[in-house]
Structure 1
């Protein structure tokens, strides 16, 4: 996983705010608008809670191709998309409204000092004055967003973006790590790509025989490239990136060491037409399959778990002519294979 540098530190305001939450009765909450004290569900991700209050919009294969998707692939390298990032959120007036809403806790106790410090920071000129309303149209307020799924799993990287809400002038790059860029958007889109399952077609289809080559293949129509576009359009910030995954190979693992693979590596490369392997046809009984398995013993009263894993090559393009490669992704499924005993096979 790529390291994430903390853009700042948890200030006394955030610490006091956390303490106030514990001291507050009923449903009242006290949270400094800065830092990473979030509890509002994201308004653009209803299928997994990945982000909190994000303005990023994802389109494309976030639900898979043709409704046949099984899940998100796993990076083949020791890498993962950002667990938290910073993005533009509010104009001065919008941030003022957000600030007042978050501090609308008339019956909470013990929040006076935290509230005063936040007022000084954003209103009273230490360092910002009246939410920078005099700079309206010249910039935006940026805030942290985290991958809530990874936060719930206890991933420390999800809490690394702890810089308080900060002002960025138009055209100026934010001076924090993981500020949203086309590349960061591409990485976030990577995590949203859904690919179809990898249940291969087998011949024989229902049950194969010991020492009989079993042909395996995947159709082009099912395994085509998929892509997700992540875009951000807030105030004067307009950036986007499209991440595209293309299937390049299929790896077979027979579920038993008593088997021979075709090819011997078990890696079946993609054909020129986008398919993987080759369908069995009458007259090919004396041929070795370009992609397949020969089981050398029976599965008895059980079955063998055939693991089929597709490797996806991933690249991205983004605003301003940006682009590049991202780590390959893999996604696999397991299917039960029945292997029956016979005395001999004449080929």
Structure 2
């Protein structure tokens, strides 16, 4: 089977690509190695795919909005049967700084990929990344797929919801079978340096202060990367029925845990106390997230397994090793 993975040098994309290759799939990966965070980390993830798997992995440096490049790639790989679309402009707060990058990657990129994908003769399933951010100002916990998602708290959230709606239209118009996955705070080794747990680890080790937002209810549904990978592959292998070609599923740890707990676990794993300063929560950030995962369990037989203490300990081990080199 030939599977296209977009954003293959990203955090989730690299892990998913490795998991697919390890089970014997042929993977075509694209990534533009964007400089939103250090491209050297992205290249290091990519190197773990290029060397060990040989010709089973084909990498093409490409932007997801490059319609001519994608058309040429699809023409050269007509046997693509499945797509895992993870390329996106990430980062909630950065959408205040460069909104155009989010509209380009997350909206135009979705259209560009779907336009090419609907012409692939053997494609039977496209899985794409959405986000828990789409739940926006919804205060009903846990978040369920049927909840309102028309009150985004950031442009990032608005672009991810737009991508969902665009995919729904393509499912309706072209019978393109798709599953959108709403990821909840994915963390672990080889993670994104802009995410809080990674930035906190760097600050703790360096003896620099970290910022915690005020309020007793600040909590996140922290989801470990290995669990996420298993979930993505299970969903990818569970193709929607042609009569119902589009669906949306949460993929989370089904626990809303205090950010302060995550900090204390980092302190224990890294052997240093954090220097904490308090700040008001910015309007882009919601107070708490919590995923209902009944639907993905029913459809794909998936459930999270990794507790936060275990996942943070694994991340800390990797963090020390990676930043010691």
**TM-score per shorter chain, which class?**
under 0.3
Between structure 1 and structure 2, the one with the greater Rg is 1
Per the normalisation by structure 2, the TM-score is 0.24
State the structure with bigger RCO (CA 8 A, min sep 6), 1 or 2.
Answer: 1
Structure with the higher strand share, 1 or 2 = 1
Structure with the higher helix share, 1 or 2 = 2
